[in-house]
Structure 1
Amino acid sequence: MRPEFPAFKSIELSDLPLISEHLTRYQPEICELSATNLYIWHNFDRGAYTFINDNLCLKVHLVGDTPYFLEPIGIKMIPETVELCLKETGRLSRISERLLRQLPLNKIRAHCLRSQNDYLYETSSLAEYKGGHFDGKRNHVKRFDKLYPDHVYVSIDQSFKPAVIALFEKWFAARKETHFFQKLAYGAQRQAILNSFDHFNELGLIGGGLMAGGELKSFAIGSRLNSNTVTAHFQYSDPTAPGATQTLWQKACKEAFSKFARINFEQDLGIPGLRKSKLSYHPKKIEKKYEIRLKPGITSLL
């Protein structure tokens, strides 16, 4: 039986068919509204859901943070639903412009969360690397081809779990512990990867990788976000294999992700190097996200 507000239910694997049903009708554009993401990060996000006015409402309580709601999934009584969410947690976060347009802006404070914005690309653009603005990417691919002439592209499935974990450990070790790569982030990412590969097929995951000399040099996995967009949940490369990332994206966009017109690289989390990298692939669109609260003195959105 589905939970009705004020009751909540923690998100488990068995809840995904119900959540996916509502998300499929909604056709979201942002990566938080992915059933796969909701599950693989559940140890860190501590997500729960309820229904308000027949809308699916997802509450997130990140480790070390206060709880917030994502945008309601549905079309009924949206201002009233948002008002109840705001009274429950004080804020909605990571919401799209799609929701923002439905709310009275004279009654809310909204600010853009730059570090949470998603990067959207044309899949065919990454598969081809055409034009002068992709000269650097093509040069990286040539370098990888020269260094690893025996490399092969492979479809990633559940059997790659040990190789994927080994590559992730190597990738993280090269970064050591910094402000952006803390032990908490390491634990959260590792557990999310384990969740992904423990339930690879149930989560509808697809992906590709590069093998050379019997080792996995790079991989990416993703899942359907909407009818024409795949969201890439993870991508890691061997830090000692220059050009692996650029080669992997080109091949994966020709193979695993080719049936989708667009690919979402998700957020940069405010990490300077990650932001620079994602911008270097020339996004077609940056999908903005916002956090909203009621303005001081405002008690209702109606």
Structure 2
Amino acid sequence: MKFKDITIDSIKELQPYFELVEYEACEYCFTTLYMWQHVYKTGYFIGDDFAVIMAEYEGNSFSILPLAKKDKLPEVIDYVIKHFEENDKKICFRGVTKDVIDVLQKNYPDKFEYIEERDLFDYVYEGESLRTLAGRKNQKKRNHINAFLKDYEGRYTYKLLDEEDFSDCLELLKEWTSNKEENDEFDEGMDDESVGIKKIFKNYKYLKNLLKIAGIYVDGKLEAFTMGELINPNMALIHIEKANPNIRGLYPYINQQFILNEFENVEFVNREEDLGIPGLRKAKLSYHPVKFVEKYTVMEK
């Protein structure tokens, strides 16, 4: 297999293969792979009705699940395993979901070690719960939103964003990144995330049919923005959410309005992983996920 780097032009080749599958993990989305390509050196190979994604981190090669129809997946996994062996590399898959673990254990008994990656579990919520924030469990969220609506009555606007708004997003991103009180525990990876966001903005014309970006302006200044898309017909995936932490209720308000306005019919919303960051884990749990997309690293023994 000869692999090509994932660039913005790769969307034309790869998107049909993402549409072949209904994986729920955030890794199985062109935007995710493109955003983080500079970190993981992600490449791809197009085969006969399938695509293989390979990456590298800290000198170690790994693959995520091949993009293939369910009935062909075992055959393509075998193909990828042979690639590792032929290149004298230790076999490693990352972002493997529980249902595929069962297939691997059956087809390759005693070959692999299976490592549960709790820090990489994606948080999945009921779409209607995020849209309505109904019930006692969401009372605090509603209180924060009501405080925002009262404090800034007549002063805020929600809108979909486009290229002409991205300079405002970058200014907010700069302010958010420099807010040490909010971000001390986020230092690792913030630069990489900023690079990824800038790549999205620079090439948005190639992504705008898939990816939605929205923001909240307060007194004419952008104070929050978010971006997301459908990862499958029944699930929205939220890639990024940034807001001024000094405006009470702004985070829950943009969270709610984005799902309410742009994903009004999805049953589920994937808000990605917490990376083991305590503050992020607490925030994601506070929205009461209905399930996790459990992910495993699979390594040759």
Q: TM-score, normalised by structure 2?
A: 0.89
1:25-65: CA deviation from partner (whole Å, max 9, x where unpaired): 11221110101111122222211012467531111223x45
Corresponding residue for residue 21 of structure 2: 26
Q: Is the 8 A contact 2:93 2:299 kept in 1?
A: yes
Q: Is the 8 A contact 1:69 1:89 kept in 2?
A: no
Corresponding residue for residue 169 of structure 1: 174
Corresponding residue for residue 60 of structure 2: 66
Q: Is the 8 A contact 2:90 2:299 kept in 1?
A: no
Corresponding residue for residue 40 of structure 1: 35
Tell me, yes or no, if structure 1 residue 120 matches structure 2 residue 86: no
Corresponding residue for residue 299 of structure 1: none
CA distance in 1, matches of 2:170, 2:259: 23
- Partner-residue secondary structure (3-state), 1:258: coil
Deviation at 1:170, TM superposition (A): 1.2
CA distance in 2, matches of 1:55, 1:98: 19
Q: Is the 8 A contact 1:68 1:90 kept in 2?
A: yes
Q: Is the 8 A contact 1:85 1:92 kept in 2?
A: no
- Partner-residue secondary structure (3-state), 2:222: strand
The partner residue of 2:238 within 227, 232, 236 is: 232
| Structure 1 stretch displaced more, 98-107 or 258-267 | 98-107
| Structure 1 stretch displaced more, 12-21 or 29-38 | 12-21
- Partner-residue secondary structure (3-state), 1:25: coil
CA distance in 2, matches of 1:269, 1:25: 28
Deviation at 1:24, TM superposition (A): 0.4
Deviation at 1:163, TM superposition (A): 1.0
Tell me, yes or no, if structure 1 residue 202 matches structure 2 residue 188: no
Corresponding residue for residue 80 of structure 1: 78
Deviation at 1:249, TM superposition (A): 1.1
CA distance in 2, matches of 1:89, 1:144: 52
Q: Is the 8 A contact 1:221 1:234 kept in 2?
A: yes
Q: Is the 8 A contact 1:116 1:269 kept in 2?
A: yes
The partner residue of 2:289 within 283, 298, 301 is: 283
Corresponding residue for residue 9 of structure 1: 4
Tell me, yes or no, if structure 1 residue 143 matches structure 2 residue 147: yes
1:182-215: CA deviation from partner (whole Å, max 9, x where unpaired): 3xx2321111111111222422211322111111
Q: Is the 8 A contact 1:86 1:293 kept in 2?
A: no
Q: Is the 8 A contact 2:65 2:77 kept in 1?
A: no
* Letter matched to residue 4 of structure 2: K
Rate the CA distance shift 1:141–1:178 in 2: closer, same or farther, 3 A: closer
* Letter matched to residue 118 of structure 2: R
* Letter matched to residue 158 of structure 2: Y
CA distance in 2, matches of 1:252, 1:32: 21
1:132-179: CA deviation from partner (whole Å, max 9, x where unpaired): 000010011011112211212111222221111111111111136745
Corresponding residue for residue 254 of structure 2: 248
* Letter matched to residue 91 of structure 2: G
| Matched pairs, number | 287
* Letter matched to residue 148 of structure 2: F
CA distance in 1, matches of 2:217, 2:121: 32
Q: Is the 8 A contact 1:85 1:91 kept in 2?
A: no
- Superposition RMSD in Å: 1.9
CA distance in 2, matches of 1:84, 1:55: 16
User: Higher helix fraction: Structure 1 or Structure 2?
Assistant: 2
Corresponding residue for residue 190 of structure 1: 194
Pairing of 1:92-107 with structure 2 (within 5 A): 92-104=93-105, 105-107=109-111
- Partner-residue secondary structure (3-state), 2:246: coil
Tell me, yes or no, if structure 1 residue 132 matches structure 2 residue 136: yes
| Structure 1 stretch displaced more, 270-279 or 87-96 | 87-96
Identity of aligned pairs, percent? 25
CA distance in 2, matches of 1:140, 1:277: 14
Unaligned 5+ runs, structure 2:
none
